[in-house]
Amino acid sequence: MLKVDELDVFYGNIQALKGVSLDVRQGEVITLIGANGAGKSTLLKALSGLLKPQRGVIDYLGQSIVGKPAQTIVRDGISHVPEGRRVFANMTVQENLELGAYLRKDKAGIREDMRQVYERFPRLLERRGQLSGTLSGGEQQMLAMGRALMARPKLLLLDEPSMGLAPLLVQTIFQIIEEINRDGTTILLVEQNAHMALSVASRAYVIETGRIALSGTAAELQASEQVKQAYLGGQ
């Protein structure tokens, strides 16, 4: 579904990604783990058209998307849930969700997807008329995910969905990630909580200082001494 080959991304003179290569197959949950500043968010921004790579290949469903505008990439079926949620604080929950479907014209489909989002996130239904800036962190994360789903993505990019959330809410968010995947959406997940990320993923990549350092099945990385010491608290 997605093939990234030898991707280089710079911020000015600083190289954030150095020859990154990975692939995502349809139906998988792939997780990308690594320390702060390793390049995880930079990769997602390059995939969703928010950053232009200086070199390398991004093929999605057999077509290059390098240099395509972000809105075209959304229309092609890639939705990005950014780090920090980035909900529109002065708009209601309902308005945020409607914005997620901005590029769509199928009114009946939009209504059905809205119903499904509210079914998946009942808390959002209770607060649909509330300004998004007044929601809790967990509710904003649900809203950011719901908004992305309103674009009906084939591939969902999730950036740090558990950041700043209480442990019970983290469990809930990861259950929802598994449900979304079971319903047919392929997921590329960036997550600092390596335990949780590896528990839902089929395969994983470890990124260190802009390079892919390790890759394998989730079970292989969970068993790796290097991963245990660096990301799983030595367990």
216: domain CATH number is 3.40.50.300
Q: Report pLDDT for 35.
A: 85
For 67, other C-beta atoms within 10 Å of its C-beta total: 10
| SS3 call for 184 | coil
Q: Name residues of the chain where pLDDT drops below 50.
A: 235
Is 68 contained in some domain?
yes
The reply to whether 97 falls in a domain is no
Q: What is the pLDDT of residue 234?
A: 53
Run of H or E residues at 81: strand 78-81
Is 134 inside a domain boundary?
no
Is there a domain that residue 203 lies in? Answer: yes
Task: State residue 233's pLDDT score.
Answer: 66
Structural domain total, the chain: 1
Residue 84 tokens, joined: 């920090």
Would residue 46 count as lying in a domain? yes
Any domain includes 118: no
Tokens of 15: 């190289």
d(CA 6, CA 103): 31
In a domain, 105, yes or no: no
Q: What is the pLDDT of residue 163?
A: 83
Looking at residue 198, its pLDDT comes to 94
What range defines the domain where residue 203 resides?
Answer: 2-87+154-231
Flag whether 44 is in a domain.
yes
Residue 116 near residue 183 (C-beta atoms within 8 A): no
